[in-house]
Structure 1
Amino acid sequence: MTKDDRYGATDDDYSDDLDGYGTETVTTTDSSGETETVESNASEADSTDSTTDSTATSSDPLPFIFARRTVKADRDAVPVYVQDQTATEIDELERDLSQTFDGDKVMALDVREALIRAGLENVDDVRRVMEEWGYGRR
């Protein structure tokens, strides 16, 4: 099992399709009245805190997969260890979703977070699985 298998590949292509969307222009004025304009791209922004772009004209935010810089951007690492059967089922689901969303590159991290989101939206199912594992029998 490779690191990409465990954590998802980092070659997220979606940010490449935005043609300059990740470029940010910031104009500042210091106390002496001098104005400085600086352009930065997403790779430079990775090393600094991001700021909210107040010049955005669209009221609809971009969907998550298009707005991020990389597949790991704006995510916290949450290590998850799974049983062999669960790992097999996740791999099968990733392949199935890759066929379902044929035009999109389905990222493993997205599938795994979607599984967690679906679980959070269906806590009764989570409770049922935990009971099957033996929780609540003490």
Structure 2
Amino acid sequence: MTKDDRYGSAGDTYGSSGDSYEESPSTGRNGGDATPVHEIDDAESATQSDGSGVADLPFIFARRTVKADRDALPVYVRETTAAELDELEREIDERFGGDDVMSLDVREAVVRAGLRNVDDVVDVMEAWGYGRR
């Protein structure tokens, strides 16, 4: 698997219509009265109409490319975490065998899941030593 395959720069076959897709300001991405991220219903925010003709389309179908409408968020991980992410990507790719699963989608889904399960995030951080001072 090449870097382009993993990150989708050349292989994103979803949403090739050229329509743009922007998240609603209610997601907090562009300011305004932001709803806390852990309270956002992903299905609802992904299907809101933005006037571009992509209403009611899930995110992977509404976007132009896998990197469209995303901000870069560099994350440095240890080797064991990177290996676990790679394994998760393989498992999800097998589960959604008919879809072209993008690494960026899996990684953002992991972040979204963490935001929904803050207690799990706290547990990991406590295991790393946070809260012992």
Same fold (TM over 0.5): yes
Aligned equivalent of 1:90? 85
Once the 2 structures are TM-superposed, how far is the Cα of residue 61 of structure 1 from its aligned partner?
1.8
1:15 and 2:10 equivalent? no
Corresponding residue number in structure 1 for 2:101? 106
- Matched AA of 2:116: E
Aligned residue identity for 1:137? R
What is the distance in 1 between the residues matched to 2:70 and 2:97? Answer: 25
Q: Could you tell me the percent identity over the aligned residues?
A: 64
- The match for 1:53 is 51
Is 1:133 the equivalent of 2:128?
A: yes
Partner of 2:119: 124
- Number of residue equivalences: 102
Superposed CA RMSD? 2.3
Which sections of structure 2, spanning at least 5 residues, go unmatched? 21-49
More strand by share: 1
Structure 1 residues without counterparts, runs of 5 or longer:
25-51
Higher-Rg member (1/2): 1
Distance across 2 between alignment mates of 1:84 and 1:78 = 18
Aligned mates of 2:98, 2:15 — CA distance in 1 = 15
- In 2, the alpha carbon distance for the partners of 1:76 and 1:12 equals 17
SS in 1 for 2:130: coil
1:8, distance to aligned residue in structure 2 (A):
1.6
Output the CA distance in 2 between the equivalents of 1:76 and 1:84. Answer: 24
In structure 2, the partner of 1:78 is: 73
The Cα offsets for residues 7-58 of structure 1, whole Å up to 9 and x where unpaired, read as: 7231211123xxxx4369xxxxxxxxxxxxxxxxxxxxxxxxxxx536x4x8
CA gap of 1:23–1:127, structure 2 versus 1, over 3 A, is: closer
TM-score of the superposition, structure 1-length normalised? 0.66
Q: Give the whole-Å Cα distance in 1 for the aligned partners of 2:119 and 2:19.
A: 44
What TM-score does the superposition give when structure 2 sets the normalisation length? Answer: 0.69
**2:110 corresponds to which of 100, 111, 115:** 115
